[in-house]
Structure formats: C-alpha cells, structure tokens
Structure 1
Amino acid sequence: MKELVRTSDPTVIAFATALLEAEGIAAFQMDVHMSVLEGSLGILPRRLMVRDEDHFIARAILRDNGIEV
C-alpha cells in the first residue's frame, strides 16, 4: 500500500475516499483513532492509503478534483 493523502482535515479524507470509490479504487484510512489514544482533539493527521498499482491513477483523480497530493 502507498500513502496517497496525509491530512488532519476529515472532510478532505471523506471527499477523497468518495472520489476513489466512485472510480472503483479501494482506499483505506489509517490513524483514524490515534487522536483518541493520544488524548488530543483531532490534530494528528490521518493517512489515506491505496494499493500500489492504483496509486498513479488515484493521484490523478485527486489532482483533477483539487485535492493536493
């Protein structure tokens, strides 16, 4: 798996996931619960991961929709 996006903004993660799923690309969120474990208020970044073979096209999809990758 390769990292596609790293952000602390949950709306970016949700939008990126929706875009990728619409194109048939499976995306996996990592570090979702790290803020709870560390006791912070959602300031730790989350990562959106995709399979290695989907990384190139996933980057293009997000770039075309205004998400910095």
Structure 2
Amino acid sequence: MSITALAEPAALTRADRCDRCGAQAYVRAVLEAGGELLFCAHHARDVEAALRPKTAVWQDETSSLS
C-alpha cells in the first residue's frame, strides 16, 4: 500500500492568473494525474462539476471577493 501526502498549496496571489482568460485566479485545481490549473471565480464555476472529481485538491479562495 502506498500513501501519498499532499502539502497544503500556497495562497493564491494577484500574480496568479486564470488559465482560461488571464483574470486574477481565485481557484487552484491540483489534478490527481499531476499538474494544476488556475481559474478565476467565473471559470471555476463553469468547470467545477466536471473537473472537481478529478482533483486531489480544490483550493477555493473566492470568499476573499466579498
């Protein structure tokens, strides 16, 4: 049996940009297969239902918008 520990990802900054449109990223999706995707709040909502089951970490910082 193999156990893989995932480190808590760093907080997103203003320099982190959405991979779809280039706006400021508020969501990081760390994929189980490796790699990560960054999304603005709008695009994160668009892909969440399909993408979230394939992620090891769904880091959602959209609460900082309000």
TM-score, scaled to structure 1 = 0.31
Question: Which is bigger in relative contact order (C-alpha 8 A, separation at least 6)?
Answer: 1
